[in-house]
Amino acid sequence: MELKVQDLGTIGYGLALALQEDLVGRIAAGRAEETLLLLEHPPVYTVGRGGHLENVLDESIEVVRINRGGDITYHAPGQLVGYPLLNLGRRGRDLHHYLRFLEEVLIQTAARFGVVARREAGLTGVWTAQGKLASIGAGARRWVSMHGFALNVSLDLTGFQRIHPCGIQDCRMVSLEELTEAQMSMPAVKDTVAEIFQKLLTEWLPLAEGVFASDPSL
């Protein structure tokens, strides 16, 4: 089945969450197709199930606790947020593999723009030699995925200085624009993510060790 991709522009966190919850129920019931939501959020901090509010150092920005994995992260315009709603029930019910899948999408996206990105042993997300480029926090309901990834494209990174990103102290965050020293086009990044996501989704069956070919452990 072809993945449906929806570009929502800039949308409030609560509205995006309500849309996810509606789609999850309809996909689980077989009444909607799998969907990738691509969007940007106004400034907001989100905290996962196991997150710690003490990692918030600035109380002037809205904080939302949600039912995904991971700790705290920051969303703002200039960051590409992706919420894939996939039926993991027919893909092996392997959340570990799903997280590696999301990392691979972002690693290949970064490569398209000349940025070398990688996984970091024992952590979820995407890193570069200069710092962390993308955060990932996923959840599932009735084995339909929720939440997803946040790729730093061109946002003002100072918002990350007011938290411990993903609960990691002294975690330097970077963006594609900073790393390439070139102005980034959000529509171009969205198109690239959508293309790579669809391609890798058709190759979903796990490879050796349940990871993808560019994983450095292979």
For residues 182 and 145, give the distance between their C-alpha atoms in angstroms, rounded to a whole number. 34
For residue range 96-133, list pLDDT tens digits in order.
999 999 999 999 999 999 999 999 988 889 999 999 99
For residues 58 and 54, give the distance between their C-alpha atoms in angstroms, rounded to a whole number. 10
pLDDT at 198: 95
Pick the CATH number of 4-205 from 3.30.465.10, 3.30.565.10, 1.10.1740.10, 3.30.930.10: 3.30.930.10
pLDDT at 218: 24
Residue 171 falls in the annotated catalytic set: no
pLDDT at 56: 57
- Structural domain boundaries in the chain: 4-205
For residue range 138-189, list pLDDT tens digits in order.
888 999 999 999 999 999 888 777 665 554 556 789 999 999 999 999 999 9
Identify the active-site residue in 166, 176, 184, 201: 166
For residue range 202-218, list pLDDT tens digits in order.
887 543 344 444 433 32
Q: Is the per-residue pLDDT at 40 higher than 60? A: yes
- Residue pair 7/39 in contact (Cβ under 8 Å)? The answer is yes
Question: What pTM does this model have?
Answer: 0.85
